[in-house]
Amino acid sequence: MYNKGDRVIHTSEKNWGVGQILDKKGGGNISIFFSEKGLINFHIKYAKLLKLASKKVANNYILNNLYIPKNNKKMHYRNISDSISLFLNKYPLGFYDEKYLKDERNYKYKTHIYAYMEVFLF
C-alpha cells in the first residue's frame, strides 16, 4: 500500500505538513519525515495516513530536496523550525549577522564575482 518515497499526510496531525516515507521496516514499521514535524516512526497499522496521489499536490520544497542515501546510511533530518532555530542560535541577527557575513556569505559573493568576470569579461 505504501512505498518508500511516497508522499503522505497524517490525517489527525495536518500541522505536521507533507511527509515522505523514508523506510519500510519489517513487521509493519515505517519511518516518515514530515516537513514541519521531523522524523516519526510508526507502525502502519496505527498510522492515520493519506497517500497523496499527485506530485503536484505533494510538492514540498523541503521534501523535494531531501537527501535519501542509497546505502542505508543513517541520516539525521531536521524540520524547518529546528533548522531556523539552529541558524538563529548561531547567527542571532540572521542574514545580517557579522559572523554569518564572515563565515558564509562574503567568500561566496567574492567567488561569484570572480567567476562572472572569468566567464563574461575575459
Count how many domains the chain has.
Answer: 2
Q: Which domain holds residue 63?
A: 1-77
Query: Cα–Cα distance between 84 and 89 in angstroms, integer?
Result: 8
Is residue 70, in this structure, part of any structural domain at all? yes
Which residue, among 100, 77, 78, 76, has the nearest Cα to 88 in the 3D structure? 100
Is residue 82 in a domain? no
pLDDT at residue 106 in the model: 87
97 plus 57 within the same structural domain: no
Examine the pLDDT at 58 and tell me if it is beyond 70: no
Place of cell 559572523: 99
In a domain? residue 85: no
Let me know if residue 12 belongs to a domain.
yes
Q: For residue 59, give the amino acid letter.
A: N
CA distance 90 to 88: 5
Residue with cell 541558524: 87
Percent of the chain with pLDDT over 70: 95
Question: Is residue 42 in some structural domain?
Answer: yes
In this structure, the answer to whether residues 8 and 40 fall within a common structural domain is: yes
Q: Does the residue 34 lie in any domain? A: yes
Please give the Cα distance from 62 to 22 (Å, whole number). Answer: 14
Burial of 20 (0-12, 13-18, 19+ CB in 10 A): buried
Residues 69 and 109 in one domain: no
Query: What band does 71 get if pLDDT is binned at 50, 70 and 90?
Result: confident
Domain match, 69 and 46 both = yes
- pTM for the model stands at 0.69
